[in-house]
Structure 1
Amino acid sequence: MKIAFLLHNAYGIGGTIRTTMNLATALADRHEVEIVSMMRHRETPRFALDPRVRLVPLVDVRQESADAKDPLFFEASRDFPAAEKRHHQYNRLVDTRVAEYLRGCPADVIIGTRPGVNVYLSRFAPRRALRIAQEHLRYEAHSKKLRAELAPHYRLLDAVVTTTKADAAVYRKKMPMPGVRTLAIPNSVPEPAVAPSEGTAPVIAAAGRLVRGKRFDLLIDAFAEVTAKFPAWRLRIYGGGAEKERLAERIERLGLSGSAELMGSYSPIEEEFAKASLVAVASDAESFGMTIVEAMRCGVPVVSTDCPLGPAEIIEDGLTGRLVPTGDKQALASALMDLMADAPARRAMAAAALESSRAYDPAPLARRYDQLFEELRASRSARFWERGRATARARLRRLARRFGISPARRTPAAGGKASA
């Protein structure tokens, strides 16, 4: 079977890129797999790509490239949804190249990995192929305008795959898609190439984009409470982003310059997690929680806010990690200090976390995708008719509203009762 993944930019750094490459590598054991990058901004990818997986860049955005001089490069995209936050990075040249690729794509399965790319998939991919949209962000993270743009396109696909069961339930409730299989398959995280943490270093690690939603400010404030009682412990925050300067000022203002540090971006992050004894997540929301699984794979327990939607599906509170209320500085500090003060409990939790993390091995998750492909092929005819019946009912309802007709009630047969 031939499988194609559509990525925004396979040459960058990010959780979607990593998990796509992980899944592509696992599927390459049984299939012919390629990753199609809408654009490229450097010569080689930042993440190592399995040589069995073919990488196909469509538009080279580097200033010296021929693509960057094409007149279409300077025209705004007409096909990428306007409400998608990456819209400003797309143009008519990308539209054209994507349409050309998809219309001639020989793949049996085509998988999109972000909302705007999934719209391309719906618009241009051949109907003979299975067309699957992955959602790496929460439904609620999309604006109302974007959700309205996505709905008619997602309803033409074969499946929508979220990273959590909770988010799949939200899609089923708020974006009904007759004939479209809506389900959750978590991101895969391979076993790291480093030995598990010994759990003895007085280090708390955290990682992610330095943006407001990740609440590194809350973590720094909580650590200020912690360091007064545990002065030997250090906080290391890995990542880059718009909040870097503000967070640095906060560290200095709280007198934490000697104990809390912004480390910059590291890849792979597992090498740094393995040097820590705890990992902290203070986010207001997580669509999945790659950082949590990556830490657990290194034998490091995670203290996380119980934010929607991912952490509670990954961490078993009190066994493989700790969950605390979102936005609660004291609860976060208290949970960290409980584990800092109790090395045996910390080690037991680390062992349980390491064992639990094996559920995210790429191989079994790739088999779940294989099962999905088989199910979608087998149910294609039934799903086609399900979609057709739903479309017909919707048209009848619109006509009834247009002409002010109330839904007809069935008349009971003579001597009988009306149906319930």
Structure 2
Amino acid sequence: MKISFLLHNGYGIGGTIKTTFNLAEALAERHDVEIISVFRHRKVPNFPLDERVRMRHLVDLRTEKEHPRHVRPARVFPASEYRYPQYSELTDERIEECLASLTSDVVIGTRPGLNVHLALQGPRSAVRIGQEHLTLKTHPPALRNELRRAYPRLDGITTVTEADAEAYRTRMRLPGVRLMALPNSIPEPSIPPADGDARIVVAAGRLVRSKRHELLVRAFARVVAERPDWQLRIYGNGDQEEPLRELINELGLYNNAFLMGKATPMDGEWVKASIATVTSSFEPFGMTIVEAMRSGLPVVSTDCEYGPAEIIRDGEDGRLVPVGDEEALAGALLDLIRDDALRHRMRAAALENSRRYDPVPVVAQAEALFEELLERKRSMRGRLRFRVPAPAHVAHTVRDLAMAAAITTVRGLRKVRR
């Protein structure tokens, strides 16, 4: 199969980029795979990419940032989408031209705005799949309405959790669209896993309010009161760095809690610890949870929507605690700190259970979906051959008018908003 991914910016840093690279590399074992990056802003990608996967870009921000059409607002990319300010008349044009030129068997969009482009402009001969890396619940109402109009034109939609797939089934009218949960894949680390003996708890992620690192610092103060020989290391950067530093000093944790900055990749840092923790108020999936487990760490996480409860088996390979409960978080950490045997049992279970997120089983699910939708498309073409065809000029006119109407509707909505 020839498979194309349409990605916002393959030269940046983020979970969607990383999981797209992981899936593309795994698929490249048996298929012809390319990544089409709408934007490029640097010479080489931040994440390494297997040479078997081709990557090309549509707009080079190093030379085209001031392009006359790039300063005019986009009319196809949804205005209600988070990334809308970065899109333009130029991206509308380049994406449409790119999609029209594709000869791929499968084309995969990786965010809502690009999925809308794919639905309206993607090649009808290809299986068109929209990936959702966030959740339906987090999309603003205006975006959900746009997706209700565009998504029925797709062949399939994948979400990263079953809970979100169910939300699409029950809250969106998508007749004929195949809905499936396809989790993010994480390759096995190239270094040996943690041995479970280090007196270190580690957290990783952007230092932003939704990650609730201040809750973790306060909970860890309770841990230190009983076990002052343990450390907390927090990796990442963001606008909460200084408030967190002030809180650490205020609580007298400057010898126990450390802000480590950003580390990419994290493999070498996970294995220095014995426990990982996630304190988010919301996690669409939980890449860091799987990464930590694949490195041999039991994970103590808040039981937030949507990902943690689908990844962690509470009491077996980690612990789930109520969102915002400082006491419960400290208690779960102390349970693992006090009991070496429990920690080692959970460590072994984390290694074993996290194998379901290896690229091999995830790719098998993806390939099965692609084959199912390709067969469905072939079957539909076969049925259409037995119908009396309309004259070619009529068929073309109907198809062209339908496409023009869809795009005109989207553009009209933009004007009304403005």
Q: TM-score of the superposition, structure 2-length normalised?
A: 0.89
Match of 1:29 in 2: 29
Match of 1:271 in 2: 268
Structure 2 segments unaligned to the other structure (5+ residues)? 384-418
8 Å CA contact 1:180–1:383 kept in 2: the answer is no
Query: 2:164 aligned with 1:164, yes or no?
Result: no
Amino acid at match of 1:28: A
Superposition map of 1:4-403 within 5 A: 4-62=4-62, 65=63, 67-380=64-377
| AA aligned opposite 1:264 | G
Cα separation, 1, equivalents of 2:307 and 2:85: 29
Quickly say closer, same or farther: Cα 1:383–1:153, change in 2 above 3 A: farther
- Unaligned 5+ runs, structure 1: 386-420
What SS does structure 2 have at the residue aligned with 1:69? coil
| 1:204-229 deviation line (CA, Å, top 9, x unaligned) | 10011111111111111111111111
Number of aligned residue pairs:
382
Give me the whole-angstrom Cα distance separating, in 2, the residues matched to 1:22 and 1:230: 39
Offset of residue 68 of structure 1: 2.2
* AA matched with 1:6: L
1:342-392 deviation line (CA, Å, top 9, x unaligned): 11110110001001111111022111111101111222378899xxxxxxx
How many angstroms apart in 2 are the aligned matches of 1:331 and 1:263? 25
Amino-acid identity (%): 55
User: Is contact 1:178–1:383 with CA below 8 Å preserved after alignment?
Assistant: no
Q: 1:129 to 1:153 in 2, by over 3 A?
A: same
CA distance in 1, matches of 2:142, 2:245: 35
What SS does the aligned partner of 1:155 have? Answer: helix
Report if the CA contact (8 A) 1:305-1:325 is conserved: yes
Query: What is aligned with 2:410?
Result: none
Q: Name the CA distance, whole Å, in 2 between partners of 1:343 and 1:209.
A: 30
- Tell me the alpha carbon deviations over residues 70-101 of structure 1, each in whole angstroms, 9 at most, x when there is no partner: 21121121111111111111111111111110
- CA contact 2:108–2:131 (8 Å) conserved in 1: yes
Residue aligned with 2:36, SS:
strand
- Structure-1 separation of matches of 2:261 and 2:40: 23
SS in 2 for 1:110: strand
Distance in 1 between residues matched to 2:27 and 2:361, nearest whole Å = 10
The Cα shift of 1:335 comes to: 0.1
Aligned 8 A contact 1:206 1:238 in 2: yes
Deviation at 1:198, TM superposition (A): 1.2
RMSD of equivalent CA atoms: 1.4
Letter in 1 for 2:193: P
TM norm structure 1: 0.89
CA shift in 2, pair 1:3/1:381, >3 Å: closer
Query: 1:83·1:146 contact (CA, 8 Å) conserved in 2?
Result: yes
Please say if residues 120 and 153 of structure 2, whose CA atoms lie closer than 8 Å, have aligned partners that are also in contact.
no
For 1:284 and 1:197, locate their aligned partners in 2 and report how far apart those are by CA, in whole Å: 27
- What is the SS of the residue equivalent to 1:379? helix
Preserved contact between residue 112 and residue 133 of structure 1 (Cα < 8 Å): yes
Q: Distance in 2 between matches of 1:246 and 1:382?
A: 59
Aligned partners of 2:166, 2:377: CA distance in 1, in Å? 22
Alpha-carbon offset, residue 120 of structure 1: 1.4
SS at match of 2:58: strand
Listed one character per residue, the Cα deviations across residues 227-282 of structure 1 (whole Å, up to 9, x for unaligned) are: 11111111111112222222222222222222111111111112111111000001
Deviation for aligned residue 1:60: 1.0
Q: Secondary structure at the match of 1:29?
A: coil
* CA–CA distance in structure 2, aligned partners of residues 109 and 88 of structure 1: 28
Moved more, 115-124 or 240-249: 240-249
State the alpha-carbon separation in 1 of the partners of residues 80 and 211 from structure 2.
23
How big is each residue's C-alpha offset from its partner over 1:92-146, in whole Å with a ceiling of 9 and x where there is no partner?
A: 1111111110111111100011111111111211111100011110111111111
